[in-house]
Amino acid sequence: MQQKSCPIKAPAAAEAPEPATVPEPVPAAAAAPAKAGIDWPRKGRIRFVVTRGEGEQGMLIGESTHTWRYDDGRYALRTVTETTGLVALFREVRIVQSSEGVVGPEGLVPQTFEVERKGKPAEGVRFDWSSGKAALTVGGQLRREVALTPGAQDILSQIYQMGLVGAAARLEMMIATGKNYGRYAYEAVGDETLATPFGELRTWHVKTPALPGEQAMELWLASDYRNLPVRIRFIDRKGEVFDQNAVELEIDGARPAAQEK
């Protein structure tokens, strides 16, 4: 019996949605110091499995591991996304994203962002809040400068920033990806119970509008686990769906949730 061939793409985190291009905004003021009361774990790790397609048509293509540290008002986030199993035999993909910065009164204030892909020059963003400018780079060389606005994020930090800012009917923020800088608009879908390998979780579901021919992202943030992401769904411009579902969650050294063997 012949098996149907299917082109292999990179796992979901490798293809972050590009924000819409907008006129450069008014520069932001420098970030304020961290405020007491930001409830974010000092360290943690979330492991996701990555599938391509929906429902029974979904195909396991890889995994993505998120790790972070938060200490003395500073944070460091890192994700490693790679193909696994048979998919890796046909196309080995490994993408590393990192974001570092401080935690201010309104949440994460990124200072540097970088994404590394095998065989390609690293892309990055340097946030200079004192001058109100961000430098987008490729291979360490300046690509262009953009004006910052308060609350601006990189494509990685924005996932965790959504959990820190709390529930809102709509939230807009400027996002830097390394290639582009533009506006994201998240809309609330509402409270949802999400079935996971380690039981049902109460989540807050948010998404960017899915416009024809545009990329879109959805996040499910676990209410009982400090609004950490437990599902990340990405739809590319062709309508292809990439889904990341958490199978392991570690917070401050404890493992409150792990896939049952």
Amino acid (one-letter) located at 206: V
Number of Cβ atoms within 10 Å of the Cβ of 51: 21
H/E element holding 86? helix 85-90
Range of the domain at 153: 12-252
Report the range out of 42-51, 159-168, 208-217, 250-259 with the highest average pLDDT.
42-51
Both tokens assigned to 176: 């830097």
pLDDT at 58: 79
pLDDT digits (tens, 9 = 90+) for 73-91: 999 999 999 998 878 777 8
User: What does each C-alpha distance from 109 to 28, 35, 90, 194 come to in angstroms?
Assistant: 12, 12, 39, 30
Name the nearest CA neighbour of 83 among 6, 7, 10, 5: 10
pLDDT at 136: 96
Q: Is the pLDDT of residue 9 over 70?
A: no
Q: Is there a domain that residue 235 lies in?
A: yes
Both tokens assigned to 201: 């979780």
Q: Is there a domain that residue 4 lies in?
A: no
Q: Is there a domain that residue 7 lies in?
A: no
Instruction: Report the alpha-carbon distance of residue 76 to residue 36 in Å, rounded.
Output: 19
pLDDT at 105: 85
Q: pTM score > 0.85 for this model?
A: no
Q: Is there a domain that residue 1 lies in?
A: no
CB crowding 90-115: b at 16 or more within 10 Å, else e? eeebbbbbbbbbbbbeebbbbbebbb
- Averaged pLDDT for residues 49-73: 90
Q: Is there a domain that residue 79 lies in?
A: yes
Q: Is there a domain that residue 260 lies in?
A: no
At 65, is the secondary structure helix, strand, or coil?
A: strand
Q: Is the pLDDT of residue 226 over 70?
A: yes
Q: What CATH number should be reported for the domain holding residue 138?
A: 2.40.360
- Averaged pLDDT for residues 97-109: 94
**Is the Cα torsion angle 198, 200, 202, 203 positive or negative in sign?**
positive
pLDDT at 85: 83
Q: How many domains does the chain have?
A: 1
User: What does each C-alpha distance from 193 to 46, 196, 239, 249 come to in angstroms?
Assistant: 19, 10, 25, 17
Report the range out of 66-70, 86-90, 102-106 with the highest average pLDDT.
66-70
At 202, is the secondary structure helix, strand, or coil?
A: strand
Q: Is there a domain that residue 31 lies in?
A: yes
Where residue 236 falls among pLDDT bands split at 50, 70, 90? Answer: confident
End-to-end CA distance of the chain: 32
Q: Is the pLDDT of residue 72 over 50?
A: yes
In sequence order, the β-bridge partners of residue 124 are 114, 137
pLDDT digits (tens, 9 = 90+) for 20-46: 433 344 344 333 333 335 678 999 999
Please tell me the least confidently modeled range out of 10-24, 56-70, 117-131, 232-246. Answer: 10-24
CB crowding 158-187: b at 16 or more within 10 Å, else e? bbbbbbbeeeeeebebbbbbbbbbeebebe
Parallel, antiparallel or unpaired: strands 43-52 and 241-251: antiparallel
Report the range out of 117-121, 125-129, 165-169 with the highest average pLDDT.
125-129
Q: Is there a domain that residue 257 lies in?
A: no
